[in-house]
Amino acid sequence: MSIDLKGLEAALISGDRRGLAKALTLIESRRPEHRLLAGKLLSAIYSKTGRANRIGITGSPGVGKSTFIEALGKFFLQQGHKLAVLAIDPSSPRSHGSILGDKTRMAELAVHPDCFIRPSPSGLSLGGVARRTRECVLLCEAAGYDTIMIETVGVGQSETLVSSMVDIFMFLQLPNAGDQLQGIKKGILELADLVVVTKADGAFEQAARRAKVDHEMALHYMQPDPDRLLPRVMMCSAVEKKGLHEIYDTILGNLKILSSDGRLQKRRQQQREQWFESELHDQLMDSLLRDRGFKSKVQELKGKVMHGTMAPTEAAQQAILKLNLPD
């Protein structure tokens, strides 16, 4: 791919969808020369970023994330917002099917002129996907999207990662939470700014009310975090379009409060610090491993560690000695 960086920047900022798609492809490329160009592009557009509301949405498979994003997303569009939907899909064996499936499930969003949907690139490790997702957020903001929704399946570490890049983190739960509450990772509940009980319609409505109370109780026993608002539990039916208006108002209302008292700015500052630290770590490792001598030493040491003949601590020390760093 030959790249005219100035042209790409101009297309991106003018809001051209093809420009944005091209910029995202550049960002997702792993070739070192593309990473350099991606870095330049990000610096060029950096002053035009940061103005969107960043919303994270997570929940176990089948909880109704895609249907919810389609319904809430349409509500945002009706209020005149420009919406970008990004996905982090850590479950690689499923990633092809599920995200492609999502694009068809979010059929109405996908064709809306003010909405842009981007599945996560497959074949990257979770950390890699997250690195790119943060950059994708910046590109979407520079392209004029004022609302960014990041979706992830609640497995493994992905929800922690998503919460580290958004302003408001929503945790979707099924109406039959009663016994499920025992099983959910307490850690996720601690990250949530908003718990949404999905499918609150028809035969599930009663159960949804109970689940709401159960979650309120569980949250009540948690230590409040002074840097955030108290988490709220809401009910929603994406199918019957119930609860969307309240959720919309709560999201925007919360962000308004957090932004007027400085807590939003503080959260983002901490996120930038964290991103820089993990970026520094990853880039250091990437560049060290481009050195053949170091790479083969690391492979050799890894073999010893795996066979149990050397302790991981010593192996890491040996690898670093190979770098001949000053003391």
Residue numbers at the binding site for ligand GTP (CB under 6 A): 59, 61-67, 98, 153, 198-199, 201, 237-239
Question: Which span sits near Mg ion by CB under 5 A: 64-72, 118-126, 240-248, 304-312?
Answer: 64-72
Give Cα 111 to chain centroid, integer Å: 22
CA angle 124, 130, 135 (to 5 degrees): 110
Whole-number Å distance between alpha carbons of 239 and 44:
42
State in angstroms the smallest separation of the CB of 176 from ligand GTP.
Answer: 12
Residue 36 and residue 44 in contact, taking contact as beta carbons nearer than 8 Å: no
CB of 85 to ligand GTP, least distance (A): 12
Taking the complex as a whole, the smallest distance from the CB of residue 75 to ligand GTP amounts, in Å, to: 13
- Contact between 250 and Mg ion by CB under 5 A: the answer reads no
Q: According to CB under 5 A, which residues from 190 to 209 bind Mg ion?
A: none
168-173, strands of its sheet edge to edge: 115-118, 83-88, 147-153, 53-59, 168-173, 194-197, 232-235
- Asked if residue 66 binds Mg ion (CB under 5 A), the reply is yes
| Nearest distance in Å: CB 102, Mg ion | 5
Give SS3 for 266: helix
Handedness of CA 212, 217, 221, 226 (dihedral sign): positive
Instruction: Tell me whether residue 98 or residue 271 sits nearer to Mg ion (CB atom).
Output: 98
Closest C-alpha to 95, from 134, 55, 73, 128: 128
Task: For ligand GTP, give the closer residue by CB, 55 or 238.
Answer: 238
Residue 198 interaction partner, one of Mg ion, ligand GTP, none, beta carbon < 5-8 Å per kind: ligand GTP
Residue 27 binds which entry of Mg ion, ligand GTP, none, with Cβ cut-offs from 5 to 8 Å by kind?
A: none
The gap from C-alpha 216 to its chain's centroid, in whole angstroms, comes to: 25
Which residue, 80 or 183, has its beta carbon nearer to ligand GTP?
A: 183
Q: Which residues bind Mg ion (CB under 5 A)?
A: 65-66, 102
